């Protein structure tokens, strides 16, 4: 057994040695819908890296070696209730794993709506998400990405953001635009992991709703940010995974989105595991849910 394990270890070391990492700002200068108040981002590492009060949104791009690349890319939105970003647990770690499959992983450090520097906080996460998808298309040739194979992946509140950009990719706000804004922000596929979807009372994750649209939001805003109400036939194919015992985000969120996708004849794959709780990430040590990534890879291959 030792020789095969040694070969596998050397192979993985080679993969990571050949991988490249790039960090790019989403915007030039002060980002739109933001005042420069001199505020500082905060990052705390307590088991995982938690980032608060993002002021300079960026993408961190993980590139596999050129000979491995499949042409697919995944733009990743970490969760954290629209208050923090679980940046490695639901971001970097998955980008590095995707690299081992030949897939470009792009982690988005998006702005969070509770920052005092924002002028229209509810619009900012979607704006950053659209920009991240557009930047991936803008750099597609340089990064050996097929511009028709760029998906999004989101966890918990990051799943809400991924579903929002999947259903409101053409939503615009009044701001200065550049050539990158002329590119499509529509993802080609979506991967939603224990996602927040609905802001309606029965299924809402109250923390995410409060942080994004406030405690006393109008019904119009609640409906606008309830993903199941905004699905159309143009919504991208979607993979959903959730645990039945999720005590943070009710499993009904995934059911609602799947039902809406199915009603509009959008290809969708829903995977429910009996245990795993909320925030299971890779699912390691949590029983059958540990195998969800293999199911995801099979699904992504079928997108080809």
pLDDT of residue 49: 96
Inter-residue contact 73 to 150 (CB < 8 Å): yes
The predicted-structure confidence for 37-87, as pLDDT tens digits, reads as follows 999 999 999 889 999 999 999 999 999 999 999 999 999 999 999 999 999
Is the model's pLDDT at 214 over the cut of 60? Answer: yes
Spatial CA neighbour of 59 closest among 132, 124, 166: 132
Alpha carbons 265 and 16: distance in angstroms, whole number? 39
Q: 268-299 burial string, b = 16+ CB within 10 Å, else e?
A: bbbbbbeebbbbbbebeebeebeebbeebeeb
- What does the pLDDT average to over 25-41? 95
Burial degree of 223 (CB within 10 A; 0-12, 13-18, 19+): middle
Summarised one tens digit per residue, pLDDT across range 188-207 is 999 999 999 999 976 666 88
What whole-number percentage of the chain has pLDDT above 70? 92
Whether pLDDT at 8 is above 50: no
Summary mean pLDDT of the chain: 93
For residues 295 and 292, give the distance between their C-alpha atoms in angstroms, rounded to a whole number. Answer: 5
| 93-151 confidence digits (pLDDT tens) | 999 999 999 999 999 999 999 999 999 999 999 999 999 999 999 999 999 999 999 99
User: Quick one: pLDDT at residue 206?
Assistant: 80
Does residue 7 register a pLDDT over 90?
Answer: no
Tell me the average pLDDT across 242-261: 97
State residue 19's pLDDT score: 60
Would you say residue 250 has pLDDT above 60? yes
Residue 6 has a pLDDT of 46
């Amino acid at each position: 057994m030792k020789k095969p394990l040694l070969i596998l270890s050397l192979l993985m070391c080679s993969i990571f040695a050949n991988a490249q990492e790039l960090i790019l700002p989403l915007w030039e200068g002060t980002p739109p819908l933001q005042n420069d108040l001199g505020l500082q981002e905060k990052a705390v590492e307590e088991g995982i890296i938690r980032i608060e009060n993002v002021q300079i949104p960026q993408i961190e791009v993980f590139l596999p070696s050129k000979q491995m690349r499949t042409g697919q890319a995944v733009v990743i939105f970490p969760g954290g209730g629209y208050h923090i970003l679980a940046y490695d647990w639901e971001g970097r770690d998955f980008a590095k794993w995707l690299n081992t499959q030949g897939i470009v992983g792009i982690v988005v450090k998006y702005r969070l709506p509770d920052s005092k520097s924002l002028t229209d906080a509810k619009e900012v996460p979607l704006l950053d998400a659209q920009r991240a998808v557009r930047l991936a298309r803008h750099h597609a040739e340089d990064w050996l990405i097929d511009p028709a194979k760029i998906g999004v992946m989101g966890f918990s509140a990051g799943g809400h953001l991924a579903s929002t950009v999947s259903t409101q990719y053409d939503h615009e706000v009044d701001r200065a635009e550049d050539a990158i804004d002329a590119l499509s922000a529509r993802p080609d596929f979506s991967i939603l992991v224990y996602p927040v979807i609905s802001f309606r009372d029965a299924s809402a994750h109250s923390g995410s709703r409060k942080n994004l649209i406030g405690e006393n939001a109008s019904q119009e805003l609640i409906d606008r940010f309830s993903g199941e109400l905004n699905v159309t036939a143009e919504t991208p194919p979607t993979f959903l995974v959730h645990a039945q015992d999720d005590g943070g985000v009710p499993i009904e969120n995934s059911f609602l989105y799947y039902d809406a996708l199915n009603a509009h004849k959008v290809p969708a794959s829903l995977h429910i595991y009996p245990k795993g709780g909320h925030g299971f990430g890779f699912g390691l040590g949590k029983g059958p849910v540990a195998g969800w990534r293999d199911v995801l890879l099979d699904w992504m291959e079928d997108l080809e």
